[in-house]
Amino acid sequence: MSLQLDEKGKLRHFLSIDGLSRELLIDILDTAESFATVPEQSVKKVPLLRGKTIVNLFFEASTRTRTTFELAAKRLSADVLNINIGASSTVKGETLLDTLRNLQAMHADMFVVRHQESGSAHFIARHVKPYVSIINAGDGRHAHPTQAMLDMFTIRRHKKEFGKLCVAIIGDILHSRVARSQINALNMLGTGEVRVITPKTLLPNGHHSLGVQVHHDLKTGLKGTDVIIMLRLQNERMSGAMLPSEAEYFRLYGLTEEKLCGAKSDAIVMHPGPINRGVEMDSQVADGPRSVILQQVSHGIAIRMAVMSMAMHQGTGEAKDWGGGPLSRGKRGSEA
């Protein structure tokens, strides 16, 4: 049985896109849609997770993911603990499992975990009590499933039908957990064509089984694309020199207005952040009219609310009833 699902096939942990059905992914997108209006309420909260305790456990740097998880938990009315790993007993040699067991003894209901080791979220999920949920906020180069889902949400809001789309993911595919999760999600949602555009040194070995078209030339790869997803060079995961220089990388793979002309005229440009301006893209594109990068950040809150509420309730129906949709907005909002 899948570690991520309960015996009824409902979400229990959210660890990777791999192993989840198309229906479940669509359910996450639809549930997020019902939460998207919560920030427009006078009280930006719904009482869905009132009385629950969520612990943010980030062993790696994060800006957007950590803060949007915190905000999402607060908008669901949960109590949130943010553990500062640099100031925790991890630096005194406490193991991951011991840290977890201690926090579990404080009756935490959910851990949102980011860790530099691939597989860490699965490892933790195997060791927690049956009522505790684990949400993967990025494990090594393996997976970043909530990032992929907020990206799918952003694409769906702009483009509607995945079957008719050509999506290009550009940059460091080899080390990117974001790319891996995006490719899984795009394929599971039936995307017309998924391309990766990358230098040969940044293409993973098993790329034949990924279900993508591979391009090494940016100009050819961008032709006819509807969605362009730029990635950051994951320097922290590179051992040895994999590229001649950042300037050379920008010359070949950096997105500029001029290169963007090869894509469809209504193509959108995305990036999970943080952006390195002048390395993977220039500022004109990052801040230009085709960029939906800041929308991705806002959508991250709705997606994280969806995933947390679904995992906690082990069902989506309940989440939708409480979720600030047209029926419950106002009444629930003022109650919260």
- In DSSP notation, 120-169 reads HHHHHHHHS-TT-EEEEEEETTTB-HHHHHHHHHHHHHHH--GGG-EEEE
Q: With respect to ligand ASP, which residue has the nearer C-beta, 64 or 329? A: 64
What element of type H or E holds 80?
strand 79-84
| Residue with token string 């891996």 | 180
Q: With respect to ligand ASP, which residue has the nearer C-beta, 116 or 187? A: 116
Taking the C-alpha atoms of residue 306 and residue 244, their distance in angstroms, rounded to an integer, is 42
Q: With respect to ligand ASP, which residue has the nearer C-beta, 148 or 212? A: 148
Q: With respect to ligand ASP, which residue has the nearer C-beta, 118 or 314? A: 118
* Shortest Å, Cβ 163 to ligand ASP: 27
Which of 75, 142, 144, 156 is in the footprint of ligand ASP by CB under 6 A? Answer: 144
For the chain, first and last CA: distance in Å? 37
- Please say whether the beta carbons of 178 and 237 come within 8 A: no
Which of 113, 178, 179, 194 is in the footprint of ligand ASP by CB under 6 A? Answer: 178
Q: With respect to ligand ASP, which residue has the nearer C-beta, 5 or 71? A: 71
* Shortest Å, Cβ 220 to ligand ASP: 25
Half-sphere exposure for 2 (CA within 13 Å, toward CB): 17
Which of 273, 295, 318, 328 is in the footprint of ligand ASP by CB under 6 A? Answer: 273
Taking the C-alpha atoms of residue 13 and residue 169, their distance in angstroms, rounded to an integer, is 27
- Write the binding mask 302 to 331 for ligand ASP: x where contact by CB under 6 A, - elsewhere: ------------------------------
Query: Residue numbers of the site for ligand ASP (CB under 6 A)?
Result: 138, 144, 177-178, 232, 272-273
